[in-house]
Amino acid sequence: MARPEAKDQKIVVKNRRALFDYEIDERFEAGLVLVGSEVKSMRAGKVDVTDAYVQVDRGEAWLKQLYVAPFEQASAFPHETRRPRKLLLNGREIEEIHRALARGGATAVPMQIYFKGGRVKVEIGVGRGKKHYDKRADIAKKDADRDARVAVRQAARR
């Protein structure tokens, strides 16, 4: 699925840990069913996607364990902070995610949450967990890239 353009979106939160912990094979864009106070909290950036994951149940996709902080001005009717939130996907996409999760070893996690055209969207990544040695290889590659950038910068100054 195509990634959203930067000009018409405002990123609320990115799950940087997802790319470190998982090898992402497929990505999907989904809408999110929210109540008003949740949208206000998201506009303020008070969201945590650390433990969040996607689960398919009876033909519907749900985003679970997403933390949305309570909105102070909505104290009369506050929302639950970690309630399951329904994802708005078409049937074919839900079936693709369900098949990927049924294969075993696969996980669906939110990659980022953003506003697109005034609506809250979630980018979902489906992939497998990385092994410990894969993570070490990623860290070594990042260190090597950083060292190369520093060397190029120093050479340009001379």
Per-residue pLDDT tens digits for 58-73: 989 999 998 888 877 6
Domains of the chain: 9-129 (2.40.280.10)
**Given a cut of 70, is residue 2 above it in pLDDT?**
no
Write b or e for each residue in 22-47: b if 16 or more Cβ atoms lie within 10 A of its Cβ, otherwise e: bebeeebbbebebbebbbbbbeeebb
pTM score: 0.73
Containing H/E element for 13?
A: strand 9-14
pLDDT at residue 6 tops 70? no
Q: How confident is the model at residue 28 (pLDDT cuts 50, 70, 90)?
A: very high
pLDDT higher than 60, residue 3 = no
